[in-house]
Amino acid sequence: MTARTPRAAARVAVLAPDGSVLLLRYDNPEVGIHWAMPGGGLDPGESPRDGARREVREETGWTDVEPGPLLCTWEHDFTRVTVPVRQHEHIYVAYAPHRPLTGDLAAAHSADGILHARWWTPAELAAAEEALWPPNLAELLAGLRAHGPQDPAPDLGYVPNAAPSD
């Protein structure tokens, strides 16, 4: 078994008024193609909420997205710039208009293996064939739409990766 370096991270489920969520398509050498919300590793001394806010700004160009309630936490493995990590993520919810990304994000996206971004409707999420992070994202967001945020937010624990998709 590969030794994994612990890594703290935060992401934001940015939801539009029509219920769609912004996802970024990543290509990772260990886990392959997958979709995840804007986010990433925390800087030293940075809180998960502050890291989520910074990551949304860096990956979308939006400066007006404020992380709200915690949707969930979870852990998963992947390789980040040749380092095998076990990432513990806080995923927050935020609301913003359905809009394109802003500014010159090419360098940031290239460094993180982000191929492109798009808004996903709830139906598209439920029918997704490519991997989603976390894998039960469609169910988490359906529960949020039906019942509002849970207090406390669910901790999904460690979730192993599915086989990479081609």
Amino acid at 18: D
Strands 70-80 and 155-158: parallel
pLDDT confidence band for 157 (50 / 70 / 90): very high
* CA distance linking residue 156 with residue 132, whole number of Å: 14
Side-chain-side CA neighbours of residue 128 (13 Å): 23
- % of the chain residues with pLDDT over 70: 96
Strands 5-15 and 114-120: unpaired
- % of the chain residues with pLDDT over 90: 87
Tens digit of pLDDT for each residue in 69-108? 999 999 999 998 889 999 999 999 999 999 999 999 999 9
Q: What is the pLDDT of residue 33?
A: 92
Q: What is the pLDDT of residue 30?
A: 87
Burial profile 29-48: b = 16 or more Cβ within 10 angstroms, e = fewer = eebbebbbbbbbbbeeebeb
